[in-house]
Amino acid sequence: MDYILFYLKLMLKSINDNGRLIFKNTIPYTPDMLSTITHTNIDVVRIAVNTFTNLGLMEKLDDGALFMSEVSKMLGTETDYAQKKREYRQKQNLLSDKTRTKKDNVLQEIDTELEIEKESPYSPPSLNGGNVWLNCIEQSEYKFTAEQIKAIQAWAKYKADKHESISLQQIELTLKQLNDLVITKQNIVYLIENSISRGYKGIMEPTNHSMNVTQAPKLKYLGTDYIIPETPQQKRELCNYLERCYLLKGVDPRTCNPLTEEQITLIRKHLKRRKSLGLTQYDYIFQHEVLTGVCLLEQVIDK
């Protein structure tokens, strides 16, 4: 039953990417990442991936990404990638090893590179430079502080690094949004920094419209995302942060330093304990750290 549920979750996850399991169109999902996003045991994930690959339900692409072969059947249509894969195989069958020349191979490589270029979902960045944002601030006569301007420049760089094309009108609208938030006493530095750290496409809205600089969530430890949660949303955000630290990055969420061997052993004991309790990794962390306020690395388990 676990394998069936895991397979269905992968199918749903890959629909928007034409059957590929890839994070932000650049980073292939690893077994640990798949375990986290589907709340599935890592051992089940590893066995399932090998089994699905052997059965032809899944393929591993040249860039390391996994491809769900049956997505097109589930959608009732053929995905772009599946179509190109089929057409490519048909061409391969027409060219035997004896008749293929060196020139054929070169042309095929050029065609492949052109196809990849055409498939790119992003246009080259145009107006994402920090100077464009600063010029718009000056022309609109916005009275941002030096700290706020620094955060805005960080947001401009963040969008440029993601290779996102942005128009002058979009920049002006974003700056107007930020200026309106400043007028209502919102902490835009906090909002921008958290939007970048969470990989948001746009700047996050305040969770509480009356929240100003003094009402921003208090930090519990040195980790900038380790806050003292007060709302249900902040509790979920903290739990997601803790899960990433323990299971993906292997760092101490309080300091962002790599886990020691002793801490790794302790986390493994917690994961073993959560299995006996029948909880997902997310639910275990939520119940035993977010709700208790005590870091898992401070909760010693004898066995």
- Give residue-wise pLDDT tens across range 51-99: 888 887 888 777 777 887 777 666 555 555 556 666 666 666 665 555 5
pLDDT at 261: 93
How many whole angstroms from its chain centre is CA 163? 16
Q: What is the mean pLDDT of residues 31-49?
A: 85
Q: Which long-range contacts (CB under 8 A, 24 or more apart) does 10-15 make?
A: 10/34, 10/38, 10/58, 10/66, 10/68, 11/68, 11/70, 11/71, 11/74, 13/37, 13/38, 14/67, 14/68, 14/71, 15/71, 15/74, 15/75
221 vs 262 pLDDT, higher one:
262
147 vs 86 pLDDT, higher one:
147
Q: Specify whether the CB–CB gap between 270 and 280 falls below 8 A.
A: no
Residue 209 reports pLDDT greater than 50? no
How many whole angstroms from its chain centre is CA 293? 26
148-176 pLDDT, tens digit each: 998 898 888 888 887 777 788 888 888 88
27 vs 110 pLDDT, higher one:
27
pLDDT at 78: 52
Percentage of the chain beyond pLDDT 90 is 11
Closest CA to 237 of 198, 267, 275: 198
User: Confidence band (pLDDT; 50, 70, 90) for 269?
Assistant: very high
- Alpha carbon distance 20, 10 (integer Å): 9
Half-sphere exposure for 227 (CA within 13 Å, toward CB) = 20
- Alpha carbon distance 56, 231 (integer Å): 45
The terminus-to-terminus CA distance of the chain in angstroms comes to: 29
156-185 burial: b if 16+ Cβ within 10 Å, else e: bebbbeeebebeeeebeebbeebbebbeee
User: Confidence band (pLDDT; 50, 70, 90) for 262?
Assistant: very high
Residue 216 reports pLDDT greater than 60? no
Q: What is the mean pLDDT of residues 290-294?
A: 89
Mean pLDDT (the chain) is 77
pLDDT at 283: 92
pLDDT at 109: 54
Q: What is the mean pLDDT of residues 230-235?
A: 85
